[in-house]
Chains A and B, each alone.
Chain A
């Protein structure tokens, strides 16, 4: 997993609530057996017509937002299927942060395991961010993971965000859970010897 420390980037606004993982990456694109290449089909049905043309009214096809690495989305982002491919697709398309006022549980975990930061803010802050980006499509936000802050140009105060301290260390250092779990071998073996509920 790549390290994540700080990011200063423009934003792609997607003011839709309950964006489900079938929209992020439709099931018919889940047939690959590797992790790479899902970005081309990110939001495929919103992004392309049936014959593969770019839909001009979808934000990812808007020239003003090209290269921006922060996705700003309505609440309950990532609901639905457990497919980690959704996080892989966002990452592969260049996103490093998704900001929303809350995330579906499985997506949040998948994002953290992919090196994509799910940054949760209040409903009011989310609304404010949509307004800032609507006024200036080139607004650049700064995310500082160590300080757990989001800096918005023109705002008097920085926004603090919450993140599990263990997950924060993992992201900053590019670690994942496997190394930690493997290191627990002795405890796991001891535990297995006393399982009394398996008949």
Chain B
């Protein structure tokens, strides 16, 4: 029987089906971090249990870490205690930890792929909704809550109902200045913030196949922003080339066997999806969000929609009031106070190269504070090796140390109340970047141009 990519991987991981349609589902790799793991370790201890497969867990400290002076003790006592707790738990339970100061430390969804932990055909979970990122490799990867973190720790399994399958096909050549981030912001703007709830999404089409692995990760990363359980892309030569020779990638004969298997991971031609959507990628323009959920996106040069009543009106009005925008107005010319380039969506070397290539020889606007937070120590070191740090510094951008940073503002990297921030992260929720902060989501290219101009512009007029 014809199968979708999702079904092939799902079926391979069914330990058994139980009454009521639930599945005991096996998890190959489990990523943990300091925020959603302490209660899980405690629960394990309280029940007299231990880790079933510690070798299938990798830990890092990312959500809560400072992005300056990582060589010094963390100032915030609560953040420090959470990071210390992770270190203690990893030592006690025998989990590999890439903590602060380690050469592999970084955002959990950046380090998994760059170390070759993320591989096609695997199942991966993490107590973080952006675990969908790893789907870019043809992996079933999704975020879980802390109770489920405990379950995977104890049994290496979860009890799941099988999601429905959706395929989103994006065909066509991208316009100049349009990137992976614009594709996914466009798709989310079409589906809305709950439009894929209950589905696992496969992204397909020539525009997806044409993306680098970094671009594919950006797309899969934001699957959760339209409610999807996860997103994935069939692995191909681009995937194999990225994974090859990475720290934990299969080596030698195992590599050949792995690739032979990975080449079977695609949706069969006559596979049936529960929902199919198609978009013309050549019509997509550089995108920006104007509201307080990621579904509230428009082309940069378009105007904010005007809503005529309906159940959404109250939330829409509340959102625009928070942002200080009016229905029907254009965003072009709006002054911006902060630019944040980072997060598990856009903090990889390709993102830093894009920004550096644009700002080389230019200066950020005087009133803008521009922060770049690399996704990992390895990204940071690569940027330095390529001299990007100097280019960015000369343009007035501050290159920080790795972490989740101002994406969720758990550390000191907060946007002040009322300030506007063009951010390459994934969520523009109220207060996400700090109480009262106003976030506009965009690509690294839009962010770089905005930093230089100091206001929102039609970027197609500014391309190098």
The residue in chain A whose Cβ has the minimal distance to the Cβ of B52 is A188
B197 x A106 contact (CB < 8 A):
no
Choice from A20, A105, A165 contacting B293 with Cβ under 8 Å: A20
With A16-B315, A18-B193, A82-B145 known to touch, is A105 a contact of B151 (CB < 8 Å)? Answer: no
Contacts of A35 in B (CB 8 A): 39
Q: Mark A53-96, 1 if CB is under 8 A from B, else 0.
A: 00000000000000000000011100111111101000000000
Q: Mark B89-131, 1 if CB is under 8 A from A, else 0.
A: 0000000000000000000000000000001011000011101
Q: Quick check: is A102 within 8 A (CB to CB) of the other chain?
A: yes
Choice from B129, B318, B410 contacting A16 with Cβ under 8 Å: B318
A181 x B261 contact (CB < 8 A):
no
Q: Quick check: is A164 within 8 A (CB to CB) of the other chain?
A: yes
Q: Which of B120-147 contact A (CB under 8 A)?
A: 121-122, 127-129, 131, 143-147
Contacts of A80 in B (CB 8 A): 129, 224, 427, 429
Q: Quick check: is A198 within 8 A (CB to CB) of the other chain?
A: yes
The CA-CA distance from A187 to B127 in the complex, in Å, is: 25
A181 x B18 contact (CB < 8 A):
no
Contacts of B47 in A (CB 8 A): 178
Q: Which of B190-241 contact A (CB under 8 A)?
A: 193-194, 197-198, 224, 227, 229
B129 x A106 contact (CB < 8 A):
yes
Q: Mark A20-56, 1 if CB is under 8 A from B, else 0.
A: 1011001110111111000000000100001000000
Q: Quick check: is B28 within 8 A (CB to CB) of the other chain?
A: yes
Contacts of A146 in B (CB 8 A): none
Contacts of A106 in B (CB 8 A): 129, 143-145, 224
The CA-CA distance from A85 to B149 in the complex, in Å, is: 13
- In the complex, what's the smallest C-beta–C-beta distance from A177 to chain B, in angstroms? 5
A33 x B81 contact (CB < 8 A):
yes
With A20-B293, A34-B39, A197-B122 known to touch, is A104 a contact of B427 (CB < 8 Å)? Answer: no
Interface size on A, residues (CB 8 A): 59
B78 x A17 contact (CB < 8 A):
no
**Interface-facing stretch out of B156-164, B170-178, B297-305, B331-339:** B156-164
Q: Quick check: is B36 within 8 A (CB to CB) of the other chain?
A: yes
B82 x A31 contact (CB < 8 A):
yes
Query: On chain B, which size bracket covers the interface?
Result: 35 or more
- In the complex, what's the smallest C-beta–C-beta distance from B265 to chain A, in angstroms? 9
B430 x A177 contact (CB < 8 A):
no
The CA-CA distance from A106 to B126 in the complex, in Å, is: 12
The CA-CA distance from A85 to B24 in the complex, in Å, is: 25
B194 x A75 contact (CB < 8 A):
yes
Q: Quick check: is A191 within 8 A (CB to CB) of the other chain?
A: yes
B435 x A50 contact (CB < 8 A):
yes
The CA-CA distance from A104 to B142 in the complex, in Å, is: 13
- In the complex, what's the smallest C-beta–C-beta distance from A35 to chain B, in angstroms? 5
B254 x A199 contact (CB < 8 A):
yes
Choice from A22, A178, A185 contacting B432 with Cβ under 8 Å: A22
Contacts of B314 in A (CB 8 A): 15-17, 74
Most chain B beta carbons < 10 A, residue from A80, A85, A180: A80
B410 x A198 contact (CB < 8 A):
no
A188 x B24 contact (CB < 8 A):
yes
A166 x B315 contact (CB < 8 A):
no
Q: Quick check: is A127 within 8 A (CB to CB) of the other chain?
A: yes
Q: Mark A176-199, 1 if CB is under 8 A from B, else 0.
A: 111011101101100110011111
Q: A17-B315, A127-B311, A166-B19 are in contact. List 14 more A-B contacts (CB 8 A).
A: A17-B312, A20-B293, A31-B35, A50-B417, A79-B194, A82-B127, A87-B145, A109-B144, A113-B148, A166-B20, A178-B47, A181-B158, A198-B28, A199-B261
B residues contacting A by CB (< 8 A) are 12, 15-16, 18-22, 24, 26, 28, 35-36, 38-39, 42-43, 47, 49, 52, 63-64, 76, 78-79, 81-82, 85, 119, 121-122, 127-129, 131, 143-148, 150-151, 154-159, 161, 163, 193-194, 197-198, 224, 227, 229, 250, 254-255, 257-258, 261, 293, 295, 311-312, 314-315, 318, 408-410, 417, 427, 429-432, 435-436
6 pairs, CB–CB < 8 Å, chain A vs chain B: A31-B81, A82-B129, A84-B39, A104-B227, A106-B143, A110-B146
A residues contacting B by CB (< 8 A) are 15-18, 20, 22-23, 26-28, 30-35, 45, 50, 74-76, 79-85, 87, 102, 104-106, 109-110, 113-114, 123, 127, 164-166, 176-178, 180-182, 184-185, 187-188, 191-192, 195-199
